[in-house]
Amino acid sequence: MEAIGLDMGNATANKPSNILIPIRVDPSAEGLPLPKTMTTGSAGVDLYASASERIPAKQWRKVSTGIAIAIPNGFEGQVRPRSGLAIQYGITVLNAPGTIDSDYRGLIDVILINHGSIDFQIERGDRIAQLVIAPVARASFVRDPDLEETERSNGGFGHTGR
């Protein structure tokens, strides 16, 4: 089993926290780089397309990365768009951020949408998205008909004006 270390930032002052993520590489992704950060300050790792795919203008496609990972309990994977694809071509992650739960062990697929006016071609090995590993807080819910009032209270969309 191969494993990669993801830099989780500074857990305490000047002490980086790293976790190892076991990874299984499908035959479709053999020869592609493992996910990795591109700079020392990167929050996420790049995900690569394991096959070529054309995304017609104004449509979306499920694009496989050809990898499966074992995220530890207490963490999740957040699949996010790459800013370069978004600004240059109008390509983004449709359900951003997509969530990978810690108990999921299947291949990671990314739903990409082409907001552009022309078809977009993805080639095998292209970087298509980012993956951020983040801690998850567990919540339990209890009924309370009298929620505490706040300054905002039920002010919703656009409540602060333009």
- pLDDT grade, residue 5 (50/70/90)? low
- pLDDT grade, residue 99 (50/70/90)? very high
* Strand ranges inside 34-159, DSSP E: 45-48, 53-55, 60-64, 67-69, 75-80, 91-93, 98-100, 109-114, 120-122, 127-135
Q: Report the range of poorest mean pLDDT among 3-17, 56-70, 113-127, 131-145.
A: 3-17
CB neighbours (10 Å) of residue 110? 24
CA atoms of 67 and 32, how far apart (whole Å): 10
Asked if pLDDT for residue 89 goes beyond 50, the answer is yes
Task: Please give the single-letter amino acid code of residue 37.
Answer: T
Are 62 and 111 in contact by the 8 Å Cβ rule? The answer is: yes
Q: What is the mean pLDDT of residues 80-104?
A: 97
How far are the Cα atoms of 9, 56, 127 from residue 82, in angstroms, in the given order? Answer: 20, 18, 8
Residue 11 is predicted with a pLDDT of 47
Task: Please give the single-letter amino acid code of residue 141.
Answer: F
Architecture of domain 2-135: Distorted Sandwich (2.70)
Residue 16 is predicted with a pLDDT of 53
Q: Output the average pLDDT for the chain.
A: 91
Are 111 and 53 in contact by the 8 Å Cβ rule? The answer is: no
Residue 152 is predicted with a pLDDT of 84
Q: Which residue has the higher pLDDT, 8 or 116?
A: 116
- pLDDT grade, residue 161 (50/70/90)? confident
**CA-closest candidate to residue 137, choices 77, 74, 79, 71:** 74
Are 124 and 27 in contact by the 8 Å Cβ rule? The answer is: no
Asked if pLDDT for residue 115 goes beyond 90, the answer is yes
